[in-house]
Amino acid sequence: DAMVIQNPRYQVTQFGKPVTLSCSQTLNHNVMYWYQQKSSQAPKLLFHYYDKDFNNEADTPDNFQSRRPNTSFCFLDIRSPGLGDAAMYLCATSRDLAGGNNEQFFGPGTRLTVL
Amino acid sequence: LAKTTQPISMDSYEGQEVNITCSHNNIATNDYITWYQQFPSQGPRFIIQGYKTKVTNEVASLFIPADRKSSTLSLPRVSLSDTAVYYCLVGDTTGGFKTIFGAGTRLFVKA
């Protein structure tokens, strides 16, 4: 089945130690998104790629970076995790950005713990 | 950017129809309305999307009045497994892409 895969499902890192979360998709979608979701809160968009075109949300901290080396893979790099970065990180894809074709398919998420 | 407002929580019983209304007073001409369902420790799942009038699929219906300033997600005959958070999203690509999840409605279905 076509899907969005996130690895690992659970990630523990130390305060200040760089960490990378990965996402892959078999849907061949143009758009890939990264969201941060903290406990009992709605998902918050960090950035998205339309093909190779990177779009950063204005309030996404510089500590968060992303790479999309090809259509299938997208990575979230947290350069110096703080305690406040502990959250569920969700990857999603959509065929396009335009309404009517922007249904998002989400992965299961990676839960990040910062010690 | 259209902002959405939903009830924080709702309770229902198995077998009942549940209607969750979302307000989006500043919806733009090109905006579509999309609803997602999220279970604990899972990613959101697409339920339904519409632009105007009524849309129905195998799991839900979406009612959108002519002014499009609100929309109602209708879940027929809910079961315990429909207990989840439901998010209403409004967005398009005009002036740059935006997607912002509202606070969501926590639906609790009781036996």
Q: What per-residue confidence (pLDDT) applies to B100? A: 77
Instruction: Please name which of B27, B18, B31 lies closest in space to residue B86, comparing C-alpha atoms.
Output: B18
The answer to whether the CB atoms of A104 and B32 lie below 8 A apart is no
Instruction: Look at the block and give the residue holding tokens 């970065």.
Output: A85
Between β-strands A44-50 and A53-56, what pairing exists: parallel, antiparallel or unpaired?
antiparallel
Q: What per-residue confidence (pLDDT) applies to B63? A: 97
Q: How far is the C-alpha of A95 from the C-alpha of A57, rounded, in Å?
A: 20
Task: Enter the tokens of residue A39.
Answer: 């406990």
Q: What per-residue confidence (pLDDT) applies to B95? A: 46
The answer to whether the CB atoms of A100 and B101 lie below 8 A apart is no
Average pLDDT by consecutive 10-residue portion of chain B (111 residues)? 85 97 88 92 93 93 96 96 95 60 94 95
Task: Enter the tokens of residue A92.
Answer: 């999603």
Between β-strands A4-7 and A19-25, what pairing exists: parallel, antiparallel or unpaired?
antiparallel
Q: In what order do the strands lie in the sheet with B32-38?
A: B9-13, B105-110, B84-91, B32-38, B45-50
Q: Which of B46, B68, B99, B106 to mutate to test the interface with A (most CBs of A within 10 A)?
A: B99
Q: Measured in whole angstroms, how far is the alpha carbon of residue A59 from the centre of its chain?
A: 15
How many Cα atoms sit within 13 Å of B104 on the Cβ side? Answer: 21
Please name every residue paired with A89 in a beta bridge, in sequence order, or none if there are none. A36, A110
Contacts B45 to A, Cβ<8 Å: 106
Q: One digit per residue, pLDDT tens: chain A, 115 residues?
A: 669 999 899 999 999 999 999 999 999 999 999 999 999 999 999 999 999 999 998 889 999 999 999 999 999 999 999 999 999 999 999 998 876 778 899 999 999 999 9
Q: What per-residue confidence (pLDDT) applies to A1? A: 65
Instruction: Please name which of A87, A35, A94 lies closest in space to residue B49, comparing C-alpha atoms.
Output: A94
Q: How far is the C-alpha of A6 from the C-alpha of A21, rounded, in Å?
A: 8
Locate the chain B residue with the closest alpha carbon to A102: B92
